[in-house]
Amino acid sequence: MDLAEARRFAEEWVAGWNSHDLDRIMKHYADDVVFHSPVAARLLPGSDGSLRGKEALRAYWAEGLRHLPDLRFEVVGVYAGIDSVVINYRNQAGQLVNEVLVFDGDLVVSGWGTYGPEPGSAGDAGA
């Protein structure tokens, strides 16, 4: 994937999230996607933070959207790999987040949500 393709994907990805349209978000993910997130570990009791399958991911993100009606992302940077994209963004709380997405063709087959310090926390280095 080249940087232009990665940027186009990131534009569509963030537009989907900012619209809160779950179908628009989910169209990018394979049926057998595996996604890892520390937020999932907190939001889903008994979860190890790993979601397996598109329906599990949809259920997690539906719950997240329900809890965060003001959810909004602003893309800060986009990085392209061979079959991957990293989207660095700021969420509605001002926290910096990286979404690391690995593709098989046009669909995401695995992903990781990685989070920086929350604004105002002791670990916040001015971000």
CATH of 3-115, one of 3.40.640.10, 3.40.50.10470, 3.10.450.50, 2.40.50.100: 3.10.450.50
pLDDT tens by residue, 63-107:
889 989 999 999 999 999 999 999 999 999 999 999 999 999 999
Q: Is the pLDDT of residue 15 over 50?
A: yes
pLDDT, mean over the chain: 92
- Enumerate the domain spans of the chain: 3-115
Length of the chain: 127
Q: What is the DSSP string of the chain?
A: --HHHHHHHHHHHHHHHHHT-HHHHHTTEEEEEEEE-HHHHHHSTT--SEEESHHHHHHHHHHHHHH-TT---EEEEEEE-SSEEEEEEE-TTS-EEEEEEEEETTEEEEEEEEE-PPTTSTT----
pTM above 0.75, yes or no: yes
Q: Average pLDDT of 44-71?
A: 91
Q: Is the pLDDT of residue 45 over 90?
A: no
